[in-house]
Structure formats: C-alpha cells, structure tokens
Structure 1
C-alpha cells in the first residue's frame, strides 16, 4: 500500500508542483489549501505524513500543527518555510514538528526527509502494535482455562477489543465477568487510558446518578463541592457498568442518553458534557426477560447488546477446574506464606465432582480456606469446606473408587484404574500418566500388558 501524504499550502502553483513530484515518487497525495482544511482532513483520514507551509491565510501552519498534534500525535509533520521564517520553524519543532525545509525546496532534501519521516512513523506504529500485543497477551493470560468454550471466548475478545463497539458480558455470578472486561480494555486501543468500574447494584437511584454523572456543589444535602462522575473519570478510556440489570427504571432513561450520545449532565447542572468513553456492561440477569416484564427498557437493552460475550459457568467446563485450582493454589500459598505443592488425588476428585454454584469465585474461596488450614505440603479433603465434601458422604469417594473391586487381584485393580483414568482424560496418555503418578513409558507398558483398548 502506498504511503499517503497530506500537502498543505495556499500557493496553488506550489501545491500542484508538490503533488506532481510526490506522485512521481510513488506517494498518494491529498491536498489542502489552508490549516483549517488540513485539520478537517486529519479528522477524517489517517495520513502517513503531512507536508505543510507555515504562512497561510485563515489558519496558519503553527496553529494547525498544534491542533493536529492533539488529534493524532503520531503523525510526522514537515514544515515548509521561507528563510526569513526560520525562527517560526524552530517554534514548530518545539511543538512537535518532525523537521522543517526552507523554500525554495531542494528536492533531494525533500525526498530524504520524507523517507526518514515515514520510516520513523512506521517504527512508531510497529512499536505501538507491539505494546498492544504484549498488553493483550498479559490480559488474556489472566483468563485461566483451556476448555473449548474459553478458547473461543479469548478469540472473541481479541477480535472485538480493537473496535469501539459496546459490549455486554453475560454470565452467572462468580464467573469472572470483570476479568473479561479488563481483558477487553487491555486489548483495546484505549488501554493506556483508565478502566473505570461501577457496581450498579450497590447504589440507590439518586446515588447512582451522582456516581455516574457527578454533581454540582449544593446539588443535594452533603454536596459540599463539585464532583466529577465516573463517565468523566473514564474519558478517553472505558467504563465498565457491572450488574447493569439492577439499574432502577427511572435511571435507565438517563443512562440511555449517556450510552447513545455520550452526553451527560452533572446533578444540579444544566450544562451538557461530552464523555469519550467505550461502554462495557455486565449482568447475571436475563435482560430479555426483564424487558418483557417491563423492568428494563427495551431501547437500552438494544443499545447495550451490540456485541455479547457469554462467560460459561464452571460446571460447564470441568476440564478447567484442575488448571484453575493450581493457579489459585500457587497465588494463595504465596499470599499466605505457605509452601503447599499440590492437592491430593481425592481432594481434586471432590473438586471435579462438585457442581460449583458459586463458580470461579467459590473455587478461589474454597482454596484460600484450604491453604489457611493446611499444615503440610498437600491439600487433602480434610481442608475442603463441608459444602463440597458433604455431597459425597453417602458414596464415600475413597471406597467408591474400589466399588465392586474388593477381593480382586491387584493387577485387576490396576487395570481398572488405568482404564478409568484413560476414559476420564479422553485417551490423553500424558495427562493419564500424570494423574496416575507414573511415566508415560510405564503407562504404555501397562496398556500393552493388560491389552487395554
């Protein structure tokens, strides 16, 4: 793709000459006859470089340079100036111009300066992309899980994060919706700006309006000074509206305007403020059902539901339980200054059989409890909460593993253990060997010995 240069000059003959020369060198060009046109062009199109005269009618080069740098700081701007205006060119350099050339232009100098500026621009873009990639990797790495549903969720985050689309995250309580919101923000182009979180369920209607939009001094009892709301705190960044389904109906109309137009009013003010924010919302409620009940506005629902991310409950991804459990064990052992290595097989068996109504949050809490209670190097079933172990007291997992096998030869028991473990791991021999605490070579030998299919 050809580099696109914006040429800004109110001398039409000079402008036409530069256009001809640059096209001959293989560049695409757009022309503007003053600073105002240049600013408008930059608002509408991402140029690779700008070649701009200093002295122009209407808006001059210095003023245009300052405005363009606020719109796109990365764009290299080369200033053209007469010898008598070199001081102005130096001022332009201080404002962020890439370089300056004196008129009449030396075409060799022009060509070299253009090439260098474009190389500089390419390096900056590459550096920005690398930073975003590294940031994306960090944020996605915090989402633990390798089950198909979680792999698909991570792919979806990578796809939608760079856009400006409003995102609605759905999932039961405790599944990690805030973690998903952080990953979306971290993988987005806004990741250098703040992510501001608001728990909509924790505030009353009046307090929520003040929290979101801010208030003027004296707007209500106790408002002793002006306060910026969360929307303005998140300006240029992202606002995460957690538990959006709990927003009271009277407040939903004001929230709709903020999401639709990015316009807000502080409580007690008639002035309208513009908040440049990306919206991410989350709920554990069935919003469609609430719309039918008349407790959630239909227009607000459709404004929020542009792109949906569904976080699966933990019971739907049991393969992730051992990975998550080990992650929390390592983190919480370090936090509590313990040297706990792992879980006993029976403790992990309890984990994988339990349905986890509180999802990932419940798993983390259970492991923190176990870490605090554990005095050895392995967490056993004795350190697990009764809510997890009581469901299996009738079948007693320890005896259940040998159910119907009492009195059998040890080789038969071993064969059955290998067969069941292979079934549990869907034939993954490496994982089966790991769970049986033997090497893969030993496992293969025993599979041959017992003729396990």
Structure 2
C-alpha cells in the first residue's frame, strides 16, 4: 500500500485513476492543478505522484521538478496526451520514474504505480541503512570499554542531536577529530558536509581566507572570488582543530559567526548568513591563554558551551589491548599485509608504557612492528619505546634544569630569572633558525602565534645581543 498523488485538471481522469488505484489498497489524494499539487508536496509525503503535462496553472514538468527537489526518493509517473520523445527525455532528466501516453490501459498504470512504489520503498530503506551505517562507523572509531571511554560515548550520544558548540580538549593524539566526526555522524546534519581544518597548519594570513573566503583583489594572488569553509559547510559542521592558534583577527570573525551566524569575506563589506555547527578542539589550556591575553575571553565562552576532555592513553591502560586489536586489523587492511597477534609479553610491555603520543603513537608502533617484525607474532623486541624526555640527562629533562639551578646565585628574583631565561631561549632559537619565526617556534615547541606574542612581550622585534641575558645565569 502506498500514498499516491494524482495531478490532473480533468476531474473524470482523476476519478478513473482513483478507482483503479484503490483496487490495490493505495491511499489516493487528488490535485486539480499544478499549484495545488505544489502546495500538497510541501505539506505531505507521497510515495508516488502521477501528473498530467498540460494544465491551466502550470505544467507537469514543474510538478516533477518540485517532487524531486522535495524528496528525491519519491517516484513520479508522467501522463500526457501529447507524447513526444523530447518531452519524455526532459521528464526523465528532471527525475520522472516512468512516462505513459494517454489514452492508457488501467492495468498498465497500476503495474507502473506498483513498480514505482517498490522503488520508493527501496530507496528510503537504503537511505535509512546508510544513516545507520554512518552512525555505527562513527561509534566504532572510538575504541575501548573502560569507564572513561564509556563516558565519552555517553557524552556523544547526548550532545550529538543538539546544535550546541562543543569544545574538545585533550593531548595530541587522543582522538579529538574522531569524537568530532562521531558527533557529526549522529546529528541531524549527518547528511551535510563535515569540514575540518587545522588552524595551526595554516599561516595567519591565509587562515581568514580559508575560513571565511575572499573577494577578488583582496590580497596579492587573489585573482578571483572564493567562498570559505564556512560557506562550503552550510547546514553542516565545521571542525576547528587547534583553535587556540587562531590570530586575534580570525578570533574576532569566528566570534561573529558563533554570535550572529554571519561571515564576512576578506576584502568585502557584505555579510553572508551561514547555518553551521562549530566543533573546536585544542591541546592547549584555553583558560590560561585567556588569562595571558592570547585568546579572547568572549570567544572562549562561546566555544566552551559544552566542553569535554579526552583522557590520555596512559590514564586508560585497560583499553590498550582492544585498541591494538582494532588498529592491527585496520593497518593490515590498509597496507595489504598479514595481521599478527600480540604475545602476552608484548602486551605487558605496551601496557606499562606512558604513551606520550597517545593513540597516534600506538598506531605508529604497531605499524612499524607489523612491517619489521620477523616472528609470526608481535614480540616485545618488535617495539622500541622511547624513554621519557626527563631521562635524557643534561639535554632536555630534569637533570639539565637541575644543573642550571645549581649555577644560580643563592638569592634570586624568580620571575626575573624565568623572564630572562625565556628571552634568552627565544633569542637562541631565532638565531639557530636564522630569523625564521616558524622554524624557531618549532624548535621551542610553540605555535607561531605563541612565539609572536612572546617576541612582542619581550620587545624582540629586532633581535638584540644576548650577552647580557646569558650573564645572569652564571654564578
């Protein structure tokens, strides 16, 4: 049984079709013209639509187009007394399922309607299955059965159906983008775009253009107008990874999107409305950056409507075995190699490691072991685990800091010493990087925006001589 809409300006024709279709237990609705049909299509859902071509207030092609735009799964059968090849082609191009000429055999129409009804049911069932699969895929990416991961899954289930902005915090490699994708897949926007951008990977000058678009001539090389990611993600989701690295100008524009749903292209005075859900992530402490004046407080509150913190892998060792099993299967499938099992000794070694790189480091270790391991199983010797940084004596860890402390005078102004040390290290990094700030930031483990802020705070626009600063650390 299907719900059928008959569109024809001839009452007798509608009655004949109605009587014949009710013989197959279909629910039949009639429209006396194109305008009435268009209004019904907007208000109600139909499985099949039969429409005439020539009507006083419009054409059957208009009905075909409206039905397809409203719901592509609805099957439309075209009925006309003037059947030409051109009309048949055009109706099919606009999405018609079948094309029948008048006068017609009632049994032929009934057969066509039943086929169309079956097609609609299959298409809608397929759409439901695809949605279910997308949701299962999103949940399946987040592996683990420990209490921390169970809480994350519950969080996703509760927040996904809403349109709230979510701030995902956590160390690098904890799976922040996986959580963002799972939220999108389980939301009402799942059929719309999910667009992710790493704010730390794009230079400050290009980030605004990437996010909000630009007009022709807005800057050197802008030879044409271009929409940004927010426009491309209309009715979908934008994921801003490493949002803490945004420049002040980009922060101001993002605040406007969150507050008013409006964007403004670079080089344009015109505002455009967008309907976008924003998910943001960072491994930084945004509250500290707000206190330091690096990140806008009003933007922080807009982003942290629903905050969530992802635990590092070292805090959930109970999930390591399940993660390993899942990652090994995925790596083997991607690289077309044979998967291997972990020996109990290898599992014990991995479970005792703190994983500073989290799940990303675990995957890299497994991939290397699968490629280079010589045994049928993965043994402890297949995993080279880096020692903690503080174990590097005299280089980067605790021992080197203690050595430096031993060289300080017995009475010091700690704030002054820390300031001078930071200034000297920035000078040294800039010197080694030959003045290239992006490279200096990498050497210091900072983002480019962090380094720029510190250079301005120390007044290092022109790098001064470092001799005076170095002297303060000598006894």
Give the TM-score of the pair, scaled to structure 2.
Answer: 0.63
Partner of 1:387: 388
Tell me the residue number matched to 2:281: 282
Specify whether residues 248 and 112 from structure 1 end up closer, same or farther in structure 2 by C-alpha distance, changes over 3 A only.
Answer: same
Note the C-alpha offset of 1:122. 0.5
For 1:334 and 1:304, how far apart are their aligned partners in 2? 38
Residue in structure 2 matched with residue 126 of structure 1 by the alignment: 125
Offset at residue 210 of structure 1 (A): 0.5
Name the CA distance, whole Å, in 2 between partners of 1:6 and 1:287: 56
2:207 is aligned with 1:241: no
Alpha-carbon distance between aligned partners in 1 of 2:328 and 2:229, rounded to the nearest angstrom? 35
How do 1:405-444 and structure 2 match up within 5 A?
none
Deviation at 1:197, TM superposition (A): 1.4
Tell me which residue corresponds to 2:180: 181
Please give the per-residue CA displacement for 1:8-54, whole angstroms capped at 9, x wherever unaligned: 44557766887788678655566655445544554555432223232
Residues 32 and 117 of structure 1: CA distance in aligned 2, closer, same or farther (over 3 Å) = same
1:223-258 C-alpha deviation (Å, 9 max, x unpaired) = 234334223444575432223354455434533554
CA distance in 2 between counterparts of 1:133 and 1:250 reads 40
Instruction: Map Cα deviations across residues 352-385 of structure 1 (whole Å, 9 max, x no partner).
Output: 2444454323433555677788676513398221
Aligned to 2:213: 214
Structure 2 Cα separation of the partners of residues 103 and 332 of structure 1? 60
How is 1:194-213 mapped onto 2 (pairs within 5 angstroms)?
A: 195-203=194-202, 206-213=205-212
CA offset digits 1:62-107 (Å, max 9, x no partner): 1332343244322111223235678635531343211244556765
What secondary structure is seen at the aligned counterpart in 2 of 1:120? Answer: helix
2:401 is aligned to none
Query: Which residue pairs with 1:150 in the alignment?
Result: 149
CA shift in 2, pair 1:45/1:252, >3 Å: farther
Which ranges in structure 1 are unaligned for 5 or more consecutive residues?
392-453
Native 8 Å contact 1:170 1:310 kept in 2: yes
The 10-residue stretch of structure 1 (371-380 or 116-125) with the greater mean CA deviation from structure 2: 371-380
Q: Report SS of the residue matched to 1:215.
A: coil
2-structure distance, mates of 1:256, 1:31: 50
Considering only aligned residues, what root-mean-square deviation do their CA atoms show, in Å?
A: 4.7
- Give the total of aligned pairs: 388
Alignment of 1:263-278 (within 5 A): 263-270=262-269
- SS of 2:125's partner is helix
- Counterpart of 1:324 in structure 2 is 323
The alpha-carbon distance between structure 1 residues 7 and 259, as it changes in their structure 2 partners (threshold 3 A), is: farther
Alignment partners' CA distance in 2, 1:290 and 1:13: 75
Partner of 1:364: 363
Alpha carbons of 1:302 and 1:46: their partners in 2 closer, same or farther (altered >3 Å)? Answer: farther
Look up the SS of the partner of 1:144 in the other structure: coil
The residue that corresponds to 1:168 in the other structure is 166
CA gap 1:370/1:272 in 2 versus in 1, 3 angstroms: same
Q: Is the 8 A contact 1:249 1:297 kept in 2?
A: no
Q: Which stretch of structure 1 is more off in the superposition, 52-61 or 164-173? A: 164-173
Q: What secondary structure, in the 3-state scheme, does the structure 1 residue paired with 2:78 have?
A: strand
Instruction: Describe the SS at the equivalent of 1:198.
Output: strand
Distance 1:165 1:113, change over 3 A: farther
* Contact map agreement 2:237 2:278 (CA 8 A) in 1: yes
Structure 2 CA distance for aligned equivalents of residues 336 and 11 of structure 1:
64
CA distance in 2, matches of 1:136, 1:355: 31
C-alpha distance in 2 between matches for 1:302 and 1:171? 15
User: Which residue does the alignment assign to 2:53?
Assistant: 54
- For the residues of structure 1 that align with 2:29 and 2:291, how far apart are their CA atoms? 52
Distance in structure 2 (CA, Å) of the matches to 1:336 and 1:27: 53
**91-100 vs 106-115, which deviates more?**
106-115
Cα 1:372–1:67, aligned 2, differ >3 Å: closer, same or farther? Answer: same
Provide closer, same or farther for how the CA distance between residues 168 and 66 of structure 1 changes in structure 2, counting only shifts above 3 A: same
Say if 1:197 and 1:240, in contact at 8 Å, map to a contact too: yes
